[in-house]
């Protein structure tokens, strides 16, 4: 009874801790530090009092009655009630303690912020390159540990760690400067930089860049200016990073195949940026991306395999098995391998979480604590979230958590094992030699099957897709990558010839994956599940992990079904909704009717390796269940409007394209059934009218610049309307007013040219008379969009100005009242940097 009560208290306390942490993560703004300190003190005192009380209740006392109860002890019902209240109180005290710890931790990180007055200023900083530089065609990105900084000759205080970029120019073929080529981890430099507070795009179901930086302790980002930079010391610190740098440079020098070299660099030293973009898409679609990054799944699998190998070797030595139990040796070796590999591979946040989780489980086992598997996993989760509360918001935490649980459950981790030393000189039949290999193959297939099925609900919850060839791909990739390629990639640091063998393995794997990716259906995608369905999916995943009878595990099937067929909300007949995406300095607007979808522009290209289509538009389309775009409108050729097109047309079926692109444009051959955008075109979808207002047919032969050829579309239904203006300028605005006059009237205007002074004339605004004007622009962009006088021009005419840097993605359902919903208001958390409205 005492042991069971202790288990309940521990389990409830762990759940209370996780609940208190989760509650703190929902706060839009931090409370004052005294409130968190008071909660921490109250929770700690409460746990101490409850612990002392429980110890006194269970301590042996004289005076037992004949029935075994103590003389004068309360009735059984009273004892049960007291025990229940004590368990609940333990959970509440743990929740208060966790809430206080997470709040104080967050306050420390927020206190290390960049002063607003220093944003955009030229600052001279001295410090050390604290990470392996990530190189690309545009330049290098790296972490920088600040030692001193000054502005205009006066010392200033900056955040300790900066995320910097050192770019070589706008053109991707521009040559890197000599200092950029010399940049290495561990060097001390003096730069002139411009910084800003962390800011990222914020879209529904999108990646929270600001949370990622906050969790890593990075409180300012920026870039190195063209002013002279000085290398002060070639080896000033960070010895592990310097070693990683030498290994990566050696891989580049010895492996001629760039694709294979990138994978080897990712596996050996954690340089995920070395893998080409097309290869990442291949790995994601075939379900093996977790093996190519130093993720929780990767570290867990490597630790498990190291433990299996150690177990097999330990059993063969009777002396070793008598000194240290085989399971203990296996756990120790697995943990050491996981820690060493994670440190050498960059000690990223996902790896840190996984090592902490594995360490918590291993210490319990090594200490002889025989907790049931659910309690072991809860204990590991408490350890991780105590040091990193924001792990609860990361898919990697849950996937690592589930992977550890699945491997423990599938390997019978709770069973006691006794060493059986082998007789090395005894005669063994051929069948006995084959038996271990057969068991290993069966165990590997079984483990992979358990992992594939067990992780499927979480994969659907977090990524809204699952690879249909992932099981087959991982059967090949897991043993090849973990047992062959990764060890060879690490051993190549001692014998570079081994990198050639590892590269052959990468090439062979890539060809197999390309063959699987060529199958008709590779990925199953679903819309993002509503909260209740996601919760049901998490429960389904837990049922698959818990060591319970298979009949009980079958409950996971009905609980997981809503993830496969989530409800897909669409506007009613005769209405529409508009979602202006937060893509930075560029345009991408999604318009949906009852049964049709239009995408107006595909966002900007950020670099030669990244664009808004890949990072924002495609993930959003998948999360909202949009498997088909009925019409893609590409307003004009500027890269901030069409930069994401290649990714969109490559990932989503497109019914037709309306564009002003010239036939010789590089994108034209990729577009399905492209049609020239010409004023006068109109169509009707589900009671919603779409009118093309510009450019006129004659404009294409007039030699106009791209902005003047912007495809302008007005959407209207039920007395509500939105005006998509592209980058038209004064002349085109005047022509529209001359032709249409008051017919341009619209409730919402996507501001022409992002709020540039070349557009938004008074005459045009008076004709459109928008109630809301939306500026899609980048945070602190170099063009100064939207221009303050343009914003004021709209404001004095009664229009509400909204800008995506302060709003994030903007959603308006035509049946709802304006001004619509800003994602930054809807999903605001304390780690999001405040941005003043225009």
Q: How far apart are CA 620 and CA 809, in angstroms?
A: 11
Same structural domain for residues 784 and 803?
Answer: yes
Q: Is residue 834 situated within a structural domain? A: no
User: In DSSP terms, which residues pair with 230 in a beta bridge?
Assistant: 190
Give the end of a domain, one of 484, 506, 525. Answer: 525
pLDDT at position 442 is: 66
Same structural domain for residues 484 and 585?
Answer: no
Residues 6+ apart with CB under 8 A from 297: 290, 291, 399, 400, 403
Domain count of the chain?
A: 4
Measuring CA to CA, how many Å separate 687 from each of 577, 684, 719, 732? 13, 6, 12, 29
Measuring CA to CA, how many Å separate 781 from each of 116, 142, 761, 785, 832? 16, 21, 22, 7, 18
Same structural domain for residues 34 and 134?
Answer: no
Same structural domain for residues 284 and 183?
Answer: no
Question: Phi/psi at 719 (nearest 5 deg)?
Answer: 80, 5
pLDDT tens for 81-109 read 667 888 899 999 999 999 999 999 999 99
Q: How far apart are CA 344 and CA 332, in angstroms?
A: 18
Same structural domain for residues 652 and 754?
Answer: yes
Same structural domain for residues 254 and 395?
Answer: yes
pLDDT at position 174 is: 38
pLDDT at position 175 is: 42
Same structural domain for residues 395 and 485?
Answer: yes
Q: Is residue 539 situated within a structural domain? A: no
* Contact yes or no for 240/344 (Cβ under 8 A): yes
Residues 6+ apart with CB under 8 A from 17: 94, 95, 97, 98, 382, 385, 386
Same structural domain for residues 227 and 92?
Answer: no
Q: Is residue 68 situated within a structural domain? A: no
pLDDT tens for 382-397 read 988 999 999 999 887 8
Same structural domain for residues 270 and 354?
Answer: yes
Tell me how crowded residue 827 is: count the other CB atoms within 10 A of its CB. Answer: 16
Q: Is residue 6 situated within a structural domain? A: yes
pLDDT at position 226 is: 76
Buried b (16+ CB within 10 A) or exposed e, 165-184: bbbbeeeeeeebeeebeebb
Mean pLDDT over the full length of the chain: 87
Give the end of a domain, one of 482, 502, 525. Answer: 525
What angle, rounded to 10 degrees, do the helices at 296-315 and 395-410 form?
Answer: 20
Same structural domain for residues 636 and 694?
Answer: yes
Q: How far apart are CA 667 and CA 659, in angstroms?
A: 11
Query: Which residue numbers in the chain have pLDDT < 50?
Result: 1, 64-66, 170-176, 413-429, 433
CATH number at residue 210: 2.40.50
The first and second tokens of residue 107, run together, are 């306050």
The first and second tokens of residue 723, run together, are 């005006």
Give the end of a domain, one of 218, 237, 256. Answer: 237
Q: Whole-model pTM?
A: 0.87
Same structural domain for residues 105 and 120?
Answer: no
* Domain boundaries, position 405: 246-421+430-454+466-525
What angle, rounded to 10 degrees, do the helices at 239-254 and 497-517 form?
Answer: 80
SS3 467: strand
Q: Is residue 376 situated within a structural domain? A: yes
pLDDT at position 173 is: 37
pLDDT at position 38 is: 97
Q: Is residue 564 situated within a structural domain? A: no
* Contact yes or no for 333/351 (Cβ under 8 A): no
Q: Is residue 533 situated within a structural domain? A: no
CATH number at residue 731: 3.60.15.10
Q: Is residue 403 situated within a structural domain? A: yes
**Nearest residue to 214 via CA among 145, 161, 165:** 161
Same structural domain for residues 623 and 736?
Answer: yes
């Amino acid at each position: 009874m005492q042991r069971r009560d202790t288990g309940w208290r521990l389990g409830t306390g762990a759940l209370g801790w996780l609940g208190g942490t989760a509650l703190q993560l929902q706060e839009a703004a931090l409370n004052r530090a005294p409130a968190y300190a008071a909660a921490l003190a109250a929770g700690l005192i409460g746990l101490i009092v409850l612990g002392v009380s429980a110890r006194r209740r269970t301590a042996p006392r004289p005076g037992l009655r004949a029935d075994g109860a103590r003389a004068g002890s309360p009735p059984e019902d009273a004892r049960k009630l007291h025990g229940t209240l004590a368990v609940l109180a333990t959970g509440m005290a743990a929740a208060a303690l966790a809430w206080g710890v997470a709040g104080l931790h967050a306050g420390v990180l927020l206190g290390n912020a960049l002063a607003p007055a220093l944003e955009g200023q030229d600052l001279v900083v001295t410090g050390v390159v604290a990470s392996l530089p990530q190189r690309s065609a545009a330049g290098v990105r790296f972490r920088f540990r600040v030692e001193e900084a000054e502005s205009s000759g006066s010392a200033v205080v900056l955040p300790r760690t900066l995320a910097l970029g050192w770019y070589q120019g706008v053109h991707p073929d521009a040559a890197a400067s000599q200092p950029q080529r010399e940049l290495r981890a561990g060097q001390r430099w003096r730069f002139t930089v411009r910084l800003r507070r962390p800011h990222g795009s914020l879209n529904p179901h999108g990646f929270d860049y600001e949370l990622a930086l906050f969790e890593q302790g990075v409180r300012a980002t920026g870039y190195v200016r063209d002013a002279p930079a000085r290398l002060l010391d070639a080896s000033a610190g960070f010895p592990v990073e310097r070693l990683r740098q030498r290994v990566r440079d050696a891989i580049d020098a010895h492996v001629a195949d760039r694709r294979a070299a990138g994978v080897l660099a990712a596996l050996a030293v954690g340089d995920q940026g070395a893998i080409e973009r097309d290869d990442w898409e291949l790995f994601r679609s075939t379900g093996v991306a977790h093996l190519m990054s130093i993720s929780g799944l990767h570290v867990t699998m490597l630790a498990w395999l190291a433990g299996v190998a150690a177990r097999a070797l330990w059993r063969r030595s009777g002396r070793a098995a008598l000194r240290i139990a085989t399971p203990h040796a296996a756990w120790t070796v697995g943990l050491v391998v996981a820690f060493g590999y994670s440190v050498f591979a960059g000690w990223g946040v996902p790896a840190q979480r996984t090592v902490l989780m594995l360490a918590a489980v291993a210490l319990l086992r090594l200490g002889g604590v025989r907790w049931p598997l659910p309690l072991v996993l809860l204990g590991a989760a408490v350890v991780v979230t105590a040091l990193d509360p924001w792990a609860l918001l990361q898919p990697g935490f849950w996937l690592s958590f589930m992977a550890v649980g699945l491997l423990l459950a599938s390997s019978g981790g709770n069973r006691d094992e006794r060493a059986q030393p082998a007789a090395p000189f005894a005669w063994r039949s051929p069948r006995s030699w084959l038996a271990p290999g057969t068991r290993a193959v069966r165990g590997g297939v079984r483990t992979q099957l358990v992992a594939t099925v067990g992780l499927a609900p979480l994969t659907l919850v977090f990524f809204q897709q699952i690879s249909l060839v992932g099981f087959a791909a991982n059967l090949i990739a897991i043993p090849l990558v973990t047992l062959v390629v990764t060890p060879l990639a690490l051993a190549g640091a001692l014998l570079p010839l081994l990198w050639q063998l590892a590269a052959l393995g990468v090439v062979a794997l890539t060809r197999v994956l390309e063959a699987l990716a060529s199958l008709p259906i590779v990925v199953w995608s679903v819309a993002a599940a509503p909260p209740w369905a996601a919760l049901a999916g998490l429960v389904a995943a837990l049922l698959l992990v818990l060591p319970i009878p298979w009949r009980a595990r079958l409950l996971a099937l009905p609980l997981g079904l809503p993830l496969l067929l989530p409800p897909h909300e669409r506007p009613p007949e005769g209405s529409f909704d508009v979602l202006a995406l937060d893509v930075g300095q560029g345009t991408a607007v999604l318009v949906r009717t009852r049964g049709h979808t239009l995408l107006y522009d595909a966002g900007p290209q950020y670099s030669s390796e990244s664009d808004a289509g890949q990072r924002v538009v495609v993930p959003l389309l998948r999360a909202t269940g949009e498997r088909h775009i009925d019409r893609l409108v590409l307003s004009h050729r500027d890269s901030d409007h069409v930069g994401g097109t290649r990714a969109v047309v490559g990932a989503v079926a497109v019914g037709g394209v309306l564009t002003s692109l010239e036939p010789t444009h590089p994108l034209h051959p990729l577009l399905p059934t492209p049609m020239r955008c010409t004023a006068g075109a109109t169509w009707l979808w589900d009671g919603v009218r779409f009118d093309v207002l510009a450019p006129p047919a004659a404009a294409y032969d007039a030699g106009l610049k791209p902005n003047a050829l912007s495809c302008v579309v007005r959407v209207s239904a039920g007395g509500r309307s939105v005006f998509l203006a592209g980058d038209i300028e004064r002349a085109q605005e005047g022509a529209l007013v001359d032709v249409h006059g008051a017919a341009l009237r619209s409730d919402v205007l996507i501001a022409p040219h992002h709020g540039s002074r070349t557009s938004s004339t008074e005459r045009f605004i008076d004709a459109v008379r928008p109630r809301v004007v939306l500026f899609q622009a980048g945070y602190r962009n170099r063009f100064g969009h939207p221009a303050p006088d343009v914003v004021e021009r709209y404001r004095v005419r009664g229009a509400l100005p909204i800008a995506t840097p302060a709003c994030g993605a903007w959603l308006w359902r035509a049946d709802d009242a304006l001004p619509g919903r800003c994602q930054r208001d809807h999903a605001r958390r304390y780690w999001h940097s405040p941005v003043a409205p225009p």
